[in-house]
A and B are shown apart, each in its own frame.
Chain A
Amino acid sequence: EPEVTQTPSHQVTQMGQEVILRCVPISNHLYFYWYRQILGQKVEFLVSFYNNEISEKSEIFDDQFSVERPDGSNFTLKIRSTKLEDSAMYFCASRDRLAGSQETQYFGPGTRLLVL
């Protein structure tokens, strides 16, 4: 069964450094999402992406964040200058547009980011 994959599984970085989190969505999916989950808290929406542009973003997704689909398979989340409060699990998700299943997002395993 196709899966969303994410790399790396864990990332440790110094405050102020740039990080890029990578995701490979399910191959025929067209809609892509990033979420984050601070330890012990709920999952929060960051951004959705369709047709090579951001379709929605939350207030969390400020100028420090950017997303990109550099090729036909990868979907990346970049944090330009990390802060301590960016430490969280980051989930990528994707969904297709097939009738009857297009509403369901499939999540990757997550990247655990720790900012020191």
Chain B
Amino acid sequence: AQTVTQSQPEMSVQEAETVTLSCTYDTSENNYYLFWYKQPPSRQMILVIRQEAYKQQNATENRFSVNFQKAAKSFSLKISDSQLGDTAMYFCAFMNPGNQFYFGTGTSLTVIP
């Protein structure tokens, strides 16, 4: 069974600073996909970034980047130049080849002005 673990329930960061959210997962699959989703107070789930397990290069999307360590089964999200609008719950998610998603318990990020 796949599990996704986010060990940081809450984090805070000063505006314009950098913050890293951690995520680890457990799977016996070799091909899979990893995602970070953002859930602002509106509760909508918004895709932030995704990573294909077969790609060694870390995904980047503007101020968001990941550190994907396949052997360690680690998938952390780095947010650079944090903005107030980044305040949200962040969920790490794993998708297996059967297209089933597994979510972590989330990290609540607060950006402090």
Contact = CB atoms under 8 A, between A and B. Distances in A.
- Determine if chain A interacts with chain B: yes
Q: Chain B interface residue count: which class?
A: 20 to 34
* Interface-centre pick from A43, A48, A55 (highest chain B CB count, 10 A): A43
Contacts of B33: 103
A31 interface: yes
B24 to A, nearest CB: 15
Interface of A is mostly: strand
A33 B106 contact: no
B105 to A, nearest CB: 5
A41 interface: yes
A33 B43 CA distance: 17
B3 to A, nearest CB: 11
B100 interface: yes
Interface of B: 33, 35, 37, 42-47, 50, 52, 91, 93, 95, 98-106
